[in-house]
Amino acid sequence: MGDFSKKVAISAIYPVMEKENKNIYLLGREKQIATAGDANFDMECSKASEAGSVSQRACVFCGSRVVLYPIADALHVVHGPIGCASYTWDIRGALSSGPQLHRLSFSTDLREEQVIFGGEKKLYAALTTLIDKHKPAAAFVYSTCIVGVIGDDIEAVCKKVSAEKGITVLPVHAEGFNGTKKDGYRVACEALSKLIGTSEQRNKVPFSINILGDFNLAGELWMLAEYYRKIGINIIAQVTGDGRVEDIRRANTACLNVVQCSGSMTWLAKDMKEKYGIPYIRVSYFGIEDMSNALYEVARFFDDESKMDAAKLLVATELKKLLPALKEYKEKLTGQKAAIYVGGAFKAISLVKALRLIGVQTVVIGSQTGNKDDYNLIKDICDEGTIIVDDSNPIELQHFIREKNATIFIGGVKERPIAHKLGIGFCDHNHERKEALAGYEGMLNFAKEIYATAMSPVWQFVRKSPSQEEPRIKNQEQRLK
């Protein structure tokens, strides 16, 4: 307890430290901030957030919710106070080609009475009513902080309802305080693991894959699935973008798991390798290089010449359209500097490459859930002097952005106000975005969005610190050319 209050007190002196332009970090976080090119680079990561640091990470429950949310024909019931459900209501821009049940946020709305006498009866009533009304293909029940405190046996309630209603009802043990957002990913994967393999189908489908870790934001997965189909690959399950319970049940019949968003899905990929012998590869669909590699890697796995030829043809056709369009953006954007802060480090790596393609240099980069291998890779691909940070907070981020004179910030909903307060361009690359940024079409959208935000005339009306004036003036001149 003594240690905790000491750290909170230290975090309270941030503004003073910033004014004096000293290094900005909370005591205990020194080793989670590094610089590319440093001979002693050894990033500390994959640890709980420091007490007193207003981490950009979400809670365990939120982590589980973002992974399972896109399963569109399932019922998602949040067992907890209404705030938890409201916090995660319609949490992703994950589109469904059919049912929309996932977009409703059901809650047991626990009150004082249930906190004292228990909430199991209320959960039972909510589940049976909702199952009768919506006839879902399965149900997920999320426990929240207070459920962990009062000790409701959600496992027993799920079992009882499952037997009575004849559908799979899965508990998701996601008490918010029980770790980090990354632990939420794991508990979501544990729930998915219970669903996989419950179909009658057992035999492997030739040339088939599961797409793991794409959430069909703005319909991206539909484009990616089309690329795979064009090169002759069958898709068994999309886990979880535009996901369906029945497809996930038979995911064990695929030959290969293709994992994007490795932070959330590597646990499941490893689990399926162990249980069903399905190998997995890590890919990214952001930027030309990584998108093309994803297709080549899958074609290479099946060791089939026709698939590789089809992949090469597809890449060549797409690049023929895309490269001339990108050239124009590169001419306008060359010299811009970007700060990146996203959930998964693998995405951050792709973004560095995609930005380079349009002339933008990355000067600050960080993630919420990266591991040592990810950060070593980041260090290798970034220019010397780039600030690399793990599990950052708003104070640090704004300090680094100013220090490096970044003109664009790429992040999610929690990073947007930081960019706007600093008066620099912002690109939403997180789960709430409405623009497809994956694949070849997505790369063009990305270039358009970076250009629009960096060159927006609105920034001339925002008061800047002296160190930010020069890049702003250059942007205005570039825009007027």
* Residues of the shown chain interacting with ligand SF4 in the complex, contacts defined by CB under 6 A: 59, 61-62, 80, 84, 87, 144-145, 176
Other Cβ atoms closer than 10 A to 77:
26
Other Cβ atoms closer than 10 A to 290:
21
Please, which residue, 125 or 149, has the CB nearer to ligand SF4?
149
In contact, 409 and 418? CB cutoff 8 Å: yes
* 407 secondary structure, DSSP code: S
In contact, 429 and 344? CB cutoff 8 Å: no
In contact, 340 and 362? CB cutoff 8 Å: yes
Please, which residue, 59 or 345, has the CB nearer to ligand SF4?
59
Please, which residue, 31 or 111, has the CB nearer to ligand SF4?
111
Question: What region, left, alpha or beta, does residue 429 occupy, with left being phi > 0 and alpha being psi -120 to 50 degrees?
Answer: alpha
Please, which residue, 120 or 247, has the CB nearer to ligand SF4?
120
- What's the closest the beta carbon of residue 62 comes to ligand SF4, in angstroms? 6
Q: Residue 259 contacts by C-beta under 8 Å, 6 or more apart in sequence? A: 212, 213, 265, 266, 269, 280, 281, 282, 283
Cα–Cα distances in angstroms (integers) from residue 178 to residues 20, 91, 146, 175, in the given order: 37, 21, 11, 6
In whole angstroms, what is the distance from residue 301 CA to residue 440 CA? 22
In contact, 367 and 390? CB cutoff 8 Å: yes
Please, which residue, 82 or 377, has the CB nearer to ligand SF4?
82
Question: What region, left, alpha or beta, does residue 460 occupy, with left being phi > 0 and alpha being psi -120 to 50 degrees?
Answer: alpha
Please, which residue, 145 or 236, has the CB nearer to ligand SF4?
145
State the distance between the two ends of the chain, measured CA to CA, in whole angstroms: 59
- What's the closest the beta carbon of residue 123 comes to ligand SF4, in angstroms? 15
Three-class secondary structure of residue 393 per DSSP: coil
- What's the closest the beta carbon of residue 142 comes to ligand SF4, in angstroms? 8
Please, which residue, 86 or 201, has the CB nearer to ligand SF4?
86
Other Cβ atoms closer than 10 A to 478:
17
- What's the closest the beta carbon of residue 180 comes to ligand SF4, in angstroms? 11
Please, which residue, 99 or 118, has the CB nearer to ligand SF4?
118
- What's the closest the beta carbon of residue 87 comes to ligand SF4, in angstroms? 5
Nearest to 181 by CA among 8, 319, 343, 400: 343
Other Cβ atoms closer than 10 A to 358:
23
In whole angstroms, what is the distance from residue 449 CA to residue 442 CA? 10
- State which residue has the least CB distance to ligand SF4: 176
Please, which residue, 181 or 399, has the CB nearer to ligand SF4?
181
- What's the closest the beta carbon of residue 478 comes to ligand SF4, in angstroms? 43
- What's the closest the beta carbon of residue 187 comes to ligand SF4, in angstroms? 12
- What's the closest the beta carbon of residue 110 comes to ligand SF4, in angstroms? 10
Please, which residue, 59 or 437, has the CB nearer to ligand SF4?
59
One-letter amino acid of 101: L
**420: phi then psi, degrees, rounded to nearest 5:** -65, -40
